[in-house]
Amino acid sequence: MGIEQVLSQSGVPKGSFYHYFRSKKEFGLAVIDAYADYFCKKLQRVLTNAEESPLTRLHSFVDEACEGMSRHEFQRGCLVGNLGQEMAALDNEFRNQLENVLKLWEAQTARCLEEAQAAGELQPSHDVERLAEFFWIGWEGAILRAKLTRSPRPMRLFAEEYLVRLNT
């Protein structure tokens, strides 16, 4: 979508836009930052919920994501994943920012997995950073496939197989 279309649909005059953002690129980076902040708070809420065991929190994250995808008829997905597919070949700054956001999510997931180790839900020999990275690599693919099939099945299948792997 071009900036003209964004401004037209939002009713924002071009002069006002350029008062806040020097360029479309600066705007795009700000959008990524805002989404990252929103999603990090969501992950924080779910993955640190002391009322659930750490691995149950991962189940809760999956359930909440599947419900959200269904509620929005599989039209939305993940902004970071969507942009990563669209923009990865265009600009190093966008690629780096998107990768950094994924690293933040991996770190939050790794902390939850560390808590699972401490609670005896996960073997101490597991590399939680590697497992967290693996989760997000697969999860973004599962979201893409869910959008294609308009079904939560790919998300649930990935999560089930991932959680089975944690128990080995």
CATH of the domain at 78: 1.10.357.10
Asked whether the predicted pLDDT for residue 151 surpasses 90, the reply is yes
Is residue 46 one of the residues assigned to a domain?
Answer: yes
* pTM metric for this prediction: 0.87
Q: Is the dihedral of CA 38, 147, 94, 103 positive or negative?
A: positive
* 29 is a domain residue: no
Residues 5-59 pLDDT 10s: 877 888 878 777 777 788 888 888 998 999 999 999 999 999 999 999 999 999 9
Alpha helix ranges (H) inside 48-127: 54-71, 79-87, 92-118
Under a CB-based contact definition with an 8 Å cutoff, are residues 77 and 142 in contact?
A: no
- Residue 18 is assigned to a structural domain of this protein: no
Residue 23 lies in a domain: no
* 155 touches 78 (CB < 8 A): no
State the Rg of the chain over Cα.
18
In a domain, 58, yes or no: yes
- Name every residue whose Cβ is closer than 8 Å to that of residue 140 and which is 6 or more positions away in sequence: 78, 80, 81, 84, 102
Range of the structural domain that residue 97 is part of: 35-166
41 inside domain: yes
Domain assignment of residue 8, yes or no: no
Determine, yes or no, domain membership for 1: no
In the chain, the number of structural domains is 1
Assess whether pLDDT exceeds 60 at residue 162: yes
